[in-house]
Amino acid sequence: MKPSIVLLLASVWATVSAFAAERLTITVTHDLSIARPSETITIPWSEVNKALPNAMSQHIAVKDAAGHILPYQVTNVDPVAKDPKRIGIAYGDLIFQHDFAVGEKSATFTVEKIEGLAPVFPTKAFARYVPERLDDFAWENDKVAHRTYGPALEAPAPAGSKKEVLRTSGLDVWCKRVSYPIVDRWYNIGHDHYHEDEGEGMDMYQVGPSRGCGGVGVWDGQTLYVSHNYKTWNVIANGPIRAIFELTYDVWEAGNVKVTEVKRFTVDAGHYLDQMDSTFTFQGASEITIGIGINKNSGDKGQDAKAELTKNQEQGWFSQWEIQKTNGSLGEAIIVAPSALKGFAEDSANRLVLATVTSGQTLRYYVGAGWSKAGDFSSKEDWNAYVAACATRAASPVKVSWTASK
């Protein structure tokens, strides 16, 4: 290579290096005076890569203003994409969390390249297909676990077998006392063993053909038309902080309307409620009314469960506080944007929160549950205060900005 070319390249590299950032500074603000515990913050990886060229997801550090290293996650949106130039084309978001104290309306963070490997952070959000128990699909975070059911459970039992048969697109609840993952442990100890609390929690929730905790249907004013068990599944991101997955539901008939649904779940660490984004496609009507349901009779067998209900039209939420005889109490809740809420209803099995959608429109809502024996809620008032705060935060999301600097 000619000396002049070498000098030119060196000059160009020196110029690029002079302007290259050594860190990305992230500022997060919000307008509320209340606390925002486990607030999930997302930054497009493309922005990280612009500030920190060729940054690798396992060679960065995310720090708060005091210099503490924070757990983080980088979503892989295209697992088969090639990235020979290390520009992060397969990545989606950088994700981390912060606990905003009461009155704390701004927080600053930095992202930097590091030479060594970032630590492996504990998994607090997790989802998976469960072929060892027919075709359940289960998910959890450090607060609560759930599952739902696939076509194998719905299929007829072979002659002479003891196979369970259940048609439902309802969502189940598993109550946890511990913050570590329990889904794998409970499936491995044998079906129904977890119906007793042996220290980690228990399955004390009855789903049956109901909506369980947050399943949906099409409401015509008198009848709730519901889908079969989920048809397909797809895990998009899987912890340690956020799990994202989708379930699809095959066409079902709601009167004269044929409907399909794609339901995306976003499960964040530290939260009792999951974010749901349901997209309905249908023919035969200009719009339909969706009923998001909670089972009216979800109490465990022999527990003589009694439910106390709260409706908040202004904030767009409904809660059920179910007191069981010896299992403790379970709070359940649904939140929709007040602008989307069309009222409340019920049928023989479910209490419903109603919203109207057009074909192809995505409906966002939040559903979940909290157990008194987990330690965070001892009364209906505790649970309702939590739900109200969640609704307030959902209506006023954080604002995220970033700058690159030396």
pLDDT digits (tens, 9 = 90+) for 132-149: 899 999 999 999 999 999
Residue 387 lies in a domain: no
Per-residue confidence (pLDDT) for residue 82, from 0 to 100: 74
Sign of the CA dihedral running 66, 72, 77, 80:
positive
Residues 175 and 315 in one domain: yes
pLDDT at 397 over 80: yes
Task: Provide the domain count of the chain.
Answer: 2
Residues 196 and 313 in one domain: yes
Question: Mean pLDDT, the chain, as a whole number?
Answer: 92
Share of the chain above pLDDT 90, in %: 85
Residues 266 and 369 in one domain: yes
Residues 86 and 167 in one domain: no
Residue 61 lies in a domain: yes
**366/31 Cα distance (integer angstroms):** 21
**386/125 Cα distance (integer angstroms):** 20
Beta strand residue intervals within 296-361, DSSP E:
306-312, 317-324, 328-336, 341-346, 350-357
Residues 151 and 246 in one domain: yes
Per-residue confidence (pLDDT) for residue 21, from 0 to 100: 62
Residue 174 CB partners (closer than 8 Å, separation 6+):
140, 144, 145, 146, 147, 182, 183, 186, 194, 201, 202, 203, 205
Q: For residue 232, give the CATH number of its domain.
A: 2.70.98
Residues 178 and 319 in one domain: yes
Q: For residue 24, give the CATH number of its domain.
A: 2.60.40.1180
Q: 3-class DSSP state for residue 279?
A: strand
Position 87, amino acid? I
Q: 229 lies in which domain range?
A: 125-375
**185/27 Cα distance (integer angstroms):** 39
Residues 163 and 238 in one domain: yes
Residues 99 and 195 in one domain: no
Q: Between 1 and 245, whose confidence is greater?
A: 245
Q: Is 105 exposed, middle or buried (0-12, 13-18, 19+ CB in 10 A)?
A: middle
Residues 151 and 109 in one domain: no
Residues 78 and 66 in one domain: yes
Give the tens place of pLDDT for each residue, 54-88. Answer: 899 999 999 999 999 999 999 987 767 777 777 77
Q: Kindly list the distances between the CA atom of residue 28 and the CA atoms of 25, 46, 96, 132, 394, in Å, as whole numbers in the listed order.
A: 10, 18, 12, 43, 16
**30/401 Cα distance (integer angstroms):** 12
Name the phi and psi angles at 391, rounded to 5.
Answer: -65, -40
Beta strand residue intervals within 232-305, DSSP E:
232-238, 242-254, 257-268, 273-283, 288-295
Residues 343 and 198 in one domain: yes
